[in-house]
Each structure stands twice: as structure tokens, then as C-alpha cells.
Amino acid sequence: MTTTVPTVRVAAVQAAPVFLDLAASIEKLDVLTAEAASQGAELVAFGECFLAGFPIWNGVLPPIDQHELHQRLVESSITVPGPHADQLGQIAARHGVVLSVGVNERAEHSLGQVFNANLIFDTHGQLVNHRRKLVATWYERLTWSHGDAHDLRPVDLDGWRLGALICGENTNTLARYTLLAQGERLHVATYPPSWPFDRRQDHPDYDLEDSIRIRSAAHSFEGKVYSVVAATTLDDQAVTAVAQGDGDLEKLLRSTPTASLIVGPRGETIAGPLVGAEGTLYADVDLAEEIALKQAHDIVGTYQRLDLFELTVDTSRPHPITIADRHGATPDQDRETTTLPQEALDV
């Protein structure tokens, strides 16, 4: 056949970052990527905000008690482009893998704006996809700004057609459809280490593992794609830093363990789930599987009524300011902001 539809060996890495320590977390990512590459992995996926920590304190501490943790998160965030993004590209190139990793991304123009982002680097170390989470979920809005639909698209990568969504985006029907309608074949879904939801004893807590499984199966089954689901974990260092000796908070933080898994195009789990503990899941996925399955049910093709339904997506990336002279020229219009000296950005 003329269309390249390869088989890909994928790895979903479930690990805890070194809590709010960017340099140490990048070092850990390098070691884990090398380990996955040694097992033949071509795609290595890390969880939501692996660099360098998910703001789980938003769910269990009052906002007035969060300032120190928030400052540490901002100090351990990265700018994209920037030296730490370059370092991640070098890791991908050195190990010869496609690398997907969640990061806390600091806006270049302001220390007050942080995005929940996912970066994908190809085997040459080039940044080929830069997503910002569309909507911070519930208490996450204390930390992250809303993102945008820039790079809400699959990357070809010699026929992989790799797309990525972050946590709750995997419940956003239109976001999922946007990727599938652009030809997604292989999907990365990233998740946090825990999700405390309700401390009332007479109400069931949020079952994070089951929620991840349901979302992953739904996307894979509807789109006839493989999903590589990677979460971070919550280690003792993070629990101690957030709970600060409060036993009830420790219990809340540990009450909803995360899960990673790899899902096939029939919605079936083909690796995992790995619940709570650190580890890496592997699978060889044949992307040609979708062909026969889509003969029956192709929601972006034969099974869609393109004459009746239409979706328009704005993929622009908003800028805080446009610089123009009085004659209407817009110098440096491709830049997001005016350039600030590096010392103004260092924290």
C-alpha cells in the first residue's frame, strides 16, 4: 500500500518527578528514557507536569496556605522555547526516541502566568508539538491559565500521526474529534498523580483509575486508535511537603491513586493498568489495525455526516500585546511579546 502505516513500540512511563526540583526531575527523565530506549521503545511518554510536579495542593489546602508551594512551582517551571526545552530535545535525540512530556510552562512575559503544557520531540530532538491544556480543571485554575488550540493536531512522524491530550481534555468531545478528524492514529493521554475530590464520608471519592480507563477506552474505540496513557505518581516527598504532618490530608492525597495503561483500537487494555506504583508499560502497536475497524465505524469518515455537521477550530496562539508604530507597521509580529532581558525572567 502507498500509505505508511507502521508498527510502533511504545512506552508509558509512570513515575514521580523529584518534587518541584527541575534539574533533578530532568535527570530522572533522562535515566528513565534511556531505560525505555534500551527496551526498544520508539515513543516514550511521561505524565502530566512531570517537570516538575503537579499542584496537588490546590485540592487540599486553602489558597492562603499555598503561596510557598506556588512560588516553588513557578521557580521550577520552564519557558518554551528555552534552555530546558533544548535539554529535553537533546535527551530525545541522544536516545533516538520520540519523547512526550508534560511540563509547567511559564509565560515569557510574566511570572504570574503558568500553563499546563505537553511537549513532543522527534528523534532528532526537534520540538514538533507544543500543546497548552485548553481548560484547567476545577481547583487547577488556582495555578494554570487557560491554554489554546495551537498545535491541537497530530504530528506525522513517518505515518504515526501522533496526537496528545492532557488529563480532562480526554473528556472534551470536540478536542478529541479535532485530533481524529486530522488523521490521528496514535494518541498520548497524560494524567496527574492523584485527584482528591470529596472528603465527606457518605460520598464516594473520585475513582481516578476507573475514570482514566473509561476515557481511554472511549477515545480508542471511537477513533480506532491506540492510546498510550501515562500518569505521574505521588511519592512520600510530595505528600510530606503538601500535608505538612496532617494525617487527614495525607489520607486524602493517597485516596485516589493514578493509573497508566496502553489501550487498543477496540477499547481493549493491552498493557497495564499500572496503579499507583512507579514502572513502565510497553507494547508493540500495529497502526494498520484501524483499517478493518473503520470499515464498520469511522466517525470522521463514512460514519460522519459532513453535509450536516461542521466544526471550526481557532488554532491561533493569543498574544498579550501587538506592537505597532503610528504608520501601522507591526515590527517583530511573529514574536509573542517584546523581548525581556534574561535576568528579568530568572527566578
Q: What is the pLDDT of residue 338?
A: 43
Residue 227 belongs to a domain = yes
Residue 293 belongs to a domain = yes
Residue 238 belongs to a domain = yes
Per-residue pLDDT of the chain (347 residues; tens, 9 = 90+): 456 789 999 999 999 999 999 999 999 999 999 999 999 999 999 999 999 999 999 999 999 999 999 999 999 999 999 999 999 999 999 999 999 999 999 999 999 999 999 999 999 999 999 999 999 999 999 999 999 999 999 999 999 999 999 999 999 999 999 999 999 999 999 999 998 888 887 777 788 899 999 999 999 999 999 999 999 999 999 999 999 999 999 999 998 899 999 999 999 999 999 998 999 999 999 999 999 999 999 999 999 999 999 999 999 999 889 888 877 665 555 444 444 444 444 54
Q: Taking the model in full, what pTM does it have?
A: 0.91
Residue 318 belongs to a domain = no
* Mean pLDDT over each residue of the chain, to the nearest integer: 92
Q: What is the pLDDT of residue 347?
A: 46
Q: What is the pLDDT of residue 343?
A: 46
Q: What are the residue numbers of the active site? A: 48, 133, 167
Q: Which domain holds residue 194?
A: 7-305
Domain count, the chain: 1
Residue 323 belongs to a domain = no
Residue 210 belongs to a domain = yes
- Per residue, what are the HEC states of the chain? CCCCCCEEEEEEEEECCCCCCHHHHHHHHHHHHHHHHHCCCCEEECCCCCECCCCHHHHCCCHHHCHHHHHHHHHCCECCCCHHHHHHHHHHHHHCCEEEEEEEEECCCCCCCEEEEEEEECCCCCEEEEEECCCCCHHHHHCCCCCECCCCCCECCCCCCEEEEEHHHHHCHHHHHHHHHCCCCEEEEEECCECCCCCCCCCCCCCHHHHHHHHHHHHHHHHCCEEEEEEECCCHHHHHHHHCCCHHHHHHHHCCECEEEEECCCCCEEEEEEECCCEEEEEEEEHHHHHHHHHHCCCCCCCCCCCCCCCCCCCCCCCCCCCCCCCCCCCCCCCCCCCCCHHHHCC
Residue 316 belongs to a domain = no
Residue 320 belongs to a domain = no
Q: What is the pLDDT of residue 339?
A: 43
108: CATH: 3.60.110.10
